Amino acid sequence: MKSNKEECAENKTFYAMGMGGGRGQYIFVNQKQGLVAVFTTIISDDSLLPLQWFNNYILKE
């Protein structure tokens, strides 16, 4: 049986973001789900919005 600490460590999401020419590119990787997601946006005022979308609509956390 795994401890809560071990389970939390396995369910991390890693991400990278880049901004170029007023556009944003985001890559999300969640190892537990075996999931990689890529977003491209033209959002300039809230650069963390794609992270919220990923958590709320893809991972549903």
pLDDT digits (tens, 9 = 90+) for 10-58: 678 899 988 776 678 999 999 888 999 999 988 777 778 888 999 899 9
- Going by C-alpha positions, the residue among 45, 44, 40 that lies closest to residue 25 is 40
- Residue 4 confidence class, pLDDT cut points 50, 70, 90: low
**Phi and psi torsions of 36, nearest 5°:** -125, 130
pTM of the model: 0.70
- Name the burial class of residue 29, with classes exposed (0-12), middle (13-18) and buried (19+) by CB atoms within 10 angstroms of its CB: middle
- The pLDDT value given to residue 7: 55
| pLDDT of 2 higher than 90 | no
Residues facing residue 25 across a β-bridge:
18, 40
- The pLDDT value given to residue 29: 94
